[in-house]
Amino acid sequence: MKQMLYLLHPVLWVLPMVVLMLTEKETFKCSSNHNCTCYKREDSGIVFADCSNLKLQSAPLFNDENVLGKVLEDDNSGNTFRNLVKLTTLNLRSNRIFRLPPAIFRNLNQLETLVISDNSLSEFSVPIGNMQRLKRLDLSNNQLLFLDEKTRNAIDSLSRKKILHVNVTANFSGIDNLVQVMEKHCVSYIVTIVILTSLIFITLTTIFGRILYRYRWKLRYMYYVAREKYRDNVENLDGTTGSSFHFDAFVSYAEKDRRFVIKLVKQLEKEHNLKLCIHHRDFIPGTGIAENITNAIHNSRRTVTIMTSHFLDSYWCMFELNMARMEAIYSRNGENILILVVLEKLAIANLPFSFIDLIESNSYQEFPENGDDSEESAFRLKLAATLKSREGDFRTSSSNGAA
């Protein structure tokens, strides 16, 4: 005969086993359809029903609900049902159960029906894998939000062996809590990924842009020099070679100062036998402006810049000035190849801060603005001497010229 334990609706605070421990008790007729005798402990007010010898398969029903929930919640050792190893049906309906300890059903291996409906369970994490004969699990009318993974796996495992009816209807009453849980566990990270990716891209782009801006002149210089060296290597393979420098100096100037430059170049080339490079005469047609500039600087011993306000306002003039600085640093071992010819003193004051060392080292010569022919001749003589001098004599010549 199957052993069943129904604990729905009797006014019980503890399980019937403790009847054996009763000492002082009050006897009265139970309010049920069966001829059961009820006992009430005077010290605690707990009521027990004695329906022995009636051959009942379930406990008699009372109007009041049960409050076994507190007792079951505190049974962390699983002693409540420990000795009911042959129990096949356990009904804990309407027991005000808020929580069940994991070990509460540990010895109920023969259980076929487990009813825990009409309680207040918010979670059900009790192991049921030991209940290999379980056919019915009723968790309806609780406050469950979800079944944990272990419980779902146990249900799947049991359902493979036999038909298992699981009732979880009338749960999920706290739909707001469920939404919060789902939003937390099932949130889409697409927006987060897009935002993070965008931030990383913007950050890297900004860093890369700052690096490019800081080393822009160096990178451009290295690019054009590499192109020139490649072309020179090709020419050398054909047996064509040249001297170290094609020109004594490359003259950098603004277009508005062209008349002065043409006159100065003619005098230097005629009087002092110098070979100078100026863009309107010596640049190679069909070659880009930037490449022509770097080639001219690279193939000239010195670079002379005619410093005026027009020069500082010209993009290509500033390009030539920066390329000459890169040539000195990266191709001439730090040798100062720049000579500043100052036509307007105000231009020196407005020179970018990165070129202030040229002023401090006196690497410039001032053209006599209102001088006579003898002063201009002396200026050209000193400039020619500077262009012909080696590095050791260069600072001396330029310093004297600036004095």
Contact 154, 129 (CB under 8 A): yes
Q: Which residues of 117-150 are buried (b: 16+ CB within 10 A; e: fewer)?
A: bbbebebbebebeebeebeebbbbbbbbbbbeee
**SS3 label, residue 35:** coil
Contact 321, 350 (CB under 8 A): no
Q: How far apart are alpha carbons 270 and 252 in whole angstroms?
A: 19
- Point out the residues of the chain with pLDDT beneath 70: 1-36, 39-67, 172-179, 181-188, 217-218, 220-243, 360-363, 371, 390-403
**Long-range CB contacts (within 8 A, 24+) of 116-123:** 116/92, 116/142, 117/93, 117/141, 117/142, 117/167, 118/93, 118/94, 118/142, 119/69, 119/92, 119/93, 119/94, 119/95, 120/69, 120/96, 121/97, 122/98, 122/174, 123/99, 123/148
Q: Does domain 3-173 have CATH number 3.40.50?
A: no
Q: Six-digit token pair at 316?
A: 């290509």
Contact 261, 253 (CB under 8 A): yes
- Per-residue confidence (pLDDT) for residue 369, from 0 to 100: 76
- Per-residue confidence (pLDDT) for residue 116, from 0 to 100: 93
> How many C-beta atoms surround the C-beta of residue 344 within 10 A?
19
- Per-residue confidence (pLDDT) for residue 356, from 0 to 100: 75
- Per-residue confidence (pLDDT) for residue 69, from 0 to 100: 78
> How many C-beta atoms surround the C-beta of residue 39 within 10 A?
17
- Per-residue confidence (pLDDT) for residue 122, from 0 to 100: 87
Q: Does domain 245-402 have CATH number 3.40.50.300?
A: no
Q: What is the pTM of this model?
A: 0.45
Q: Six-digit token pair at 67?
A: 């409050």
Closest to 57 (Cα-Cα) out of 134, 137, 2, 136: 2
> How many C-beta atoms surround the C-beta of residue 226 within 10 A?
11
- Per-residue confidence (pLDDT) for residue 23, from 0 to 100: 43
Distances 389 to 249, 385, 394 between C-alpha atoms, Å: 12, 6, 6
User: Given strand 87-91, what is the order of strands in its sheet?
Assistant: 3-6, 87-91, 113-115, 136-138, 165-167
- Give the pLDDT confidence of 4-21 residue by residue, as tens digits: 555 554 444 444 443 334
